Structure 1
Amino acid sequence: MNHPEKFCENNRFVLIEECPPAPPANATRAVKKPYDRWIASNNKAKTYMLASISDALRIKMEPMETAFEIMESLQGMFGHEATRKYTNARMVAGTHVHDHVMQMTNHFSEAEMHGAVVDEATQVSIILNSLSSDFIPFTRNYIMNKLNYGMTQLLNELQTFESISGIVKNKSKANVADKPSSSKGLKNKKAKGGKLGGKFKKPKIGAKIIKPNNKKAEKKPKGKCFHCGVDGHWKKNCPRYLVELKEKNNAA
């Protein structure tokens, strides 16, 4: 079964064009081609439309010969404008499935305000047929396994599939890339001030620059840390305190 997007492109013409006259049996292939194409597209359109409605409506619509007759009957039952909205609605690739389902739900509610009664099974079928090509595996699995979801379960399953498949991961990555990096900002602060939040002071002209004594620097200060209570270092050199301070600044 083809996807609804391909149906829109290749088969929608049967809803606006009349069937060409049936060619004689001895007609050439070129003469038969327009007629055969219309008949094949009409059969596909009927299949899609009958699969998108409830069992009760399907039984009523199956005797109709053309997709146009089915569409006219549905529009007469549910209201022309309201029916057209959810019938023609198609999910835009790359958008979140939650937003699309909510939009379709609004269309159904609008149809109900005009007196239409679209049962839940029909709503589920219409939504499945309106999904973007990213959800073809989901739709195929639903049909092959003859699943029967309600609207709430359908939305949950679609969101799970979207998350596992990473359908909108590129969009998520772009949003993350737009946010400033807190670790990068921390490095810039350290580069400017030497210490977090400090200011770099230039040495005065003629002042003697005292080089740090590496041996003294390596020697641990005596005493007990007021932060962790461990001997051998002070609070400003406490590994635990420095980690907590860094996490606090990153969260700021």
Structure 2
Amino acid sequence: MIGLIEKLVGLDVVIPAEFSTDIILLSLPPSFDGFVVNFNMNKLEATLEELVNMLTTYEATIKKEKHVLLVGSSSGMKKGAQNKGKKRSAPPKKNKPNKKPYKKPTSGPSKPDKSEHVCFHCNKPGHWRRNCTEYLAQKRSGHGDGKKQET
């Protein structure tokens, strides 16, 4: 770009110094974006030679830096090891409008009425199949798969 600007000056084309600096800065690759932002933010003014020196210095610092493309955790890492020693606040709880609020029982914990239970093996109320004496005896004797035979 500097060579092209010098050719234009040789042809008696008047180019302001700021314009030539802007042309050079705009022609730089994306890796020089940090330099361009810094140059514009600090409102630096430099001749073309000074600008070239600044760019070569910046390019040398870019090559020394190691770029990390992706940082992630493997699936084998434990989450507890990452957060050890760090204090975290719990996210705010959201109230769900569809659920009824919890009501504390007034008396002690109530047990379900056993008369409501019906055994699937003998069809008698008061117990479940896993507690049915007929089912357990039949299972111990090894007679069939434990299901009651229909006759």
Q: Give me the TM-score of the superposition, normalised by structure 2.
A: 0.39
**Larger RCO, structure (CA 8 Å, separation 6 or more):** 1
TM norm structure 1: 0.24
Q: Which has the higher helix share?
A: 1
